[in-house]
Amino acid sequence: MKFAVGYQQHPGIEPFVNLVKKYREHIDEVYFPWIGVPSGRAMLGSAYSLSLYGKPYNGKMTGEDLQKQLEWELVEFRRMGIKLDILFNANCFGEDAISVDFEKQLCSLLGHLDSLGILPDAVTTTSPFAADRLKKHFPAIERRASVNMRIDSIPAMEYLADIFDSFHIRRDIQRDIPAVAAFHDWCRKNGRKLCMLANSGCLRYCPAQIFHDNMIAHDAKLSKKENAKDFSPHLCWKTFSDPKNHIEFLKGAWVRPEDLHHYDPYFPVVKLATRVNAQPGRLIEAYIRRKFDGNLLNLMEPDLSRIFAPYIIDNSRFPENWFGDCPANCAMTCAHCGKCEAVFRQVRVRKDS
C-alpha cells in the first residue's frame, strides 16, 4: 500500500517537496489545490492558510511568488515519478457552477500546467460539470469523485460512471469492511477505482458537513464580513468542547495505522489528509509504519488535540482487537452496548498522568 498526501505551503516552513523526498518510496500521489481556487479547505494562498500553525504570515510573498513556489515543487514531484492530483473539490462554485467561464478557467489552468510538463494525472472534484468538461477536453486525465460527494451506494457510482473513473467511498461507511468489499467488487468489474481517506477527524455522519463545506467554499468573501462571534460553525469543535462528548470520537470514520491491513485487498493507494496538519511527517510515518505511540488526535484532520486537552487519546492503549470488536455501523445505529465506553476509559488519559 502506498499513500496520496496533501500539499501544504507556508513561507515559514520547509518546502513540502523535502518531506515527499524523505518518504518517496511510500508516496504514490500528491494532491493539491491551485492558488486562489476554492477547495475543500482554506484557499491556498489566502491569509488564513498562510497563517496556520501559529506562524503569522508576514505578507512579503505575493500570489505570484506563491504560484512559482507551487509550480517548482510540482515539477520536482513529477521528476520523482510522483503522480499529481489537482483539486476542484469545493462544495460550491456559486454562479459559475455550470458556466462557460468555469470551463475556460479549468481548461486554461490545465493547459498552463501542461505547458510546464506537469499536466496532472488526476482531477478530484465534487462537480459533475467539471468531470464532464474534463472528459471532453482532457480525456486522458483520471476524473475522481471527491470524498465530499459522500458516495455511499453502488447506484450512486452507476449514475456517475459515464463521467468519473474513480470514486472516494463515503468515509462514514468505510469501517464496514463488507460494504468496502462490495464497492471494490463493483469498481473492479466496471473498470473503475475505489479510493479512501484514512484520517478524517470529522464527526461520523456529521449533519453540518454540507453547511461547513459550503462556508469553506466562500471563505475568501466570508473573511471580509462581520461574522457572529457567539456561533461556532464547526460542529465537531462545539461537540467536543464538552468532555462528556469525547467518547463520540471513537465512533468516527478514521482508521488507525494499526488497522490498515484490513484494507490491503481493496486500496493500493490510501489518501492521507495532510494539508493543514502541523506535523505531516509524523502523520505520514505513522501510517507507513502502521504503528503510532502517541496522541491519536494528532493524526486527524482536523487535529482535535487542543479541544481535548488536558486529555489525549493514547493510541498505544487500544485493545488488540479494537477494530474487530467495534460494530461497523455503531455511529448510525448505536445501541450503547458499552464496548466504546470500556475502550474509552482505557484510551483517554490525562497528558500529565
DSSP 8-state assignment for residue 299: G
Phi/psi of residue 28, nearest 5 degrees: -100, -35
Specify burial of residue 213 (Cβ count, 10 A radius: 0-12, 13-18, 19+). Answer: buried
pLDDT in tens, the chain (353 residues): 999 999 998 766 789 999 999 999 999 999 999 998 888 877 676 555 554 444 555 555 667 888 999 999 999 999 999 999 999 999 999 999 999 999 999 999 999 999 999 999 999 999 999 999 999 999 999 999 999 999 999 999 999 999 999 999 999 999 999 999 999 999 999 999 999 999 999 999 999 999 999 999 998 888 889 999 999 899 999 999 999 999 999 999 999 999 999 999 999 999 999 998 989 999 999 999 999 999 999 999 999 999 999 999 999 999 988 888 765 567 677 778 888 899 999 999 998 75
CB atoms within 10 A of CB 113: 17
Residues 6+ apart with CB under 8 A from 211: 233
Q: Is residue 322 part of a domain?
A: no
pLDDT at 318: 95
Domain that holds residue 255: 2-236+250-295
Q: Is residue 303 part of a domain?
A: no
Specify burial of residue 108 (Cβ count, 10 A radius: 0-12, 13-18, 19+). Answer: exposed
Cβ proximity of 248 and 239 under 8 Å: yes
Specify burial of residue 136 (Cβ count, 10 A radius: 0-12, 13-18, 19+). Answer: exposed
- Whether the model pTM is above 0.75: yes
Cβ proximity of 141 and 134 under 8 Å: yes
Q: Is residue 265 part of a domain?
A: yes
**What's the CATH code of the domain at 226?**
3.20.20.70
Q: Is residue 341 part of a domain?
A: no
Say whether 101 sits in a helix, a strand or coil: helix
Q: Is residue 54 part of a domain?
A: yes
Alpha helices in 83-143 (DSSP H): 100-115, 128-137
Say how many domains are in the chain.
1
Q: Is residue 254 part of a domain?
A: yes
Cα–Cα nearest to 255, from 247, 246, 264:
264
Q: Is residue 113 part of a domain?
A: yes
Q: Which amino acid is present at 103?
A: E
Distances (CA, A) of 304 to 241, 242, 348: 10, 13, 13
Query: From CA 43, how far away is CA 45, in angstroms rounded?
Result: 6
Note the pLDDT tens digit of each residue in 233-248.
Answer: 999 999 999 999 999 9
Query: From CA 302, how far away is CA 199, in angstroms rounded?
Result: 9
pLDDT at 59: 55
pLDDT at 53: 45
pLDDT at 133: 98
